[in-house]
């Protein structure tokens, strides 16, 4: 004979009659499958899942029901529609708690193979942190996808100051109006072009965009590619000297303040993505603090 196991969440009342906005779990490990143009991979994700608890007398929700629903999330390709379906099921599983809202957060790293700038058949892996925040509140679905992209930024002001020092050394070394030939100039540049160098640093763009349930995919790779094309100086993986030289040339051609980077990215996103939000951070090599900018 099987004994009936007690369930105090059903039999006991809450000691304090207070409705709760969100109740659930965080940091649940689970696999997901991401499929979109140019990308298909199974990934490890950490999930958060909560429902509202408006019924003040109910002691607790059914955590195991939420867990089982999330456990099935990785069986199919992750799409906005699939996420909405799980949110609807979460609410339906808690009708006895009078729940009408649910939310899911998913964090994972998108692993992408990137080719070197110029060296043929040379490539390496780059990881992009991703965060999906979805909620269904009073029947209204919302979903935002956030990605983090690293790039290099070289300070325009520092570059101008460095150029001035090189110019001064040139005028000191070649006073008057004596003629110069190309070989003399090339030799001088090899010795003095790096008399002063502008400061540059690894930088970070944290960008989020809105998605609709009807969108066929999350379009994460397209979002990342758009950001990297906008800044033009994404960090590299596998490189040879020729690639490092090409990267130096990209940095020289794309000097940018943090304000420039934020504007570049936001402008590129507005044409192709819904409600973009951009935050950029330059991890200054000149200062012990960071430079930041936001755009919405």
241-291 confidence digits (pLDDT tens): 999 999 999 999 999 999 999 999 999 999 899 999 999 999 999 999 999
pLDDT of residue 37: 86
Long-range pairs for 243-250: beta carbons < 8 A, 24 or more residues apart: 243/116, 243/117, 243/118, 243/119, 243/122, 246/117, 246/118, 247/117, 247/152, 250/117
Residues of the chain with pLDDT under 50: none
CA geometry: angle 137, 142, 147, nearest 5 deg = 135
Q: What is the mean pLDDT of the chain?
A: 94
pLDDT of residue 1: 57
Structure confidence by residue, pLDDT tens digits, 89-115: 999 999 999 999 999 999 999 999 999
pLDDT of residue 16: 65
Strand order in the sheet with 291-295: 20-36, 39-53, 101-115, 123-137, 140-154, 200-211, 274-282, 291-295
User: Is the pTM above the cut of 0.85?
Assistant: yes
């Amino acid at each position: 004979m099987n004994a009936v196991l007690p369930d105090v969440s059903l039999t006991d009342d809450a000691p304090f009659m207070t409705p709760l906005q969100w109740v659930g779990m965080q940091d649940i490990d689970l696999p997901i499958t991401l499929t979109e143009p140019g990308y298909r991979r199974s990934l490890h994700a950490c999930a958060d899942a909560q429902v509202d608890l408006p019924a003040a007398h109910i002691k607790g929700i059914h955590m195991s029901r939420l867990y089982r629903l999330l456990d099935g999330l990785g069986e199919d390709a992750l799409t906005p529609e699939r996420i909405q379906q799980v949110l609807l099921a979460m609410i339906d599983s808690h009708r006895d708690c009078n729940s009408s809202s649910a939310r899911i957060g998913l964090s994972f790293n998108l692993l992408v193979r990137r080719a070197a700038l110029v060296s043929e058949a040379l490539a390496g892996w780059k990881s992009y942190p991703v965060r999906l925040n979805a909620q269904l509140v009073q029947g209204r679905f919302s979903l935002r996808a956030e990605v983090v992209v690293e790039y290099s930024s070289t300070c325009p002001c520092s570059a101008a100051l460095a150029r001035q020092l090189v110019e001064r050394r040139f005028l000191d070394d070649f006073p008057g109006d004596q003629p110069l030939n190309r070989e003399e100039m090339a030799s001088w540049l090899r010795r003095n072009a790096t008399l002063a160098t502008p400061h540059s640093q690894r930088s970070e763009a944290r960008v989020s965009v809105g998605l609709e349930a009807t969108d066929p995919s999350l379009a994460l790779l397209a979002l990342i590619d758009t950001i990297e094309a906008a800044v033009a100086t994404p960090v590299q993986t596998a490189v040879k000297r020729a690639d490092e030289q090409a990267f130096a040339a990209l940095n020289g051609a794309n000097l940018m303040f943090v304000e420039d980077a934020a504007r570049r990215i936001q402008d590129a996103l507005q044409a192709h993505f819904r409600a973009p939000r951009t935050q950029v951070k330059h991890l200054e090599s000149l200062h012990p603090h960071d430079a930041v900018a936001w755009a919405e």
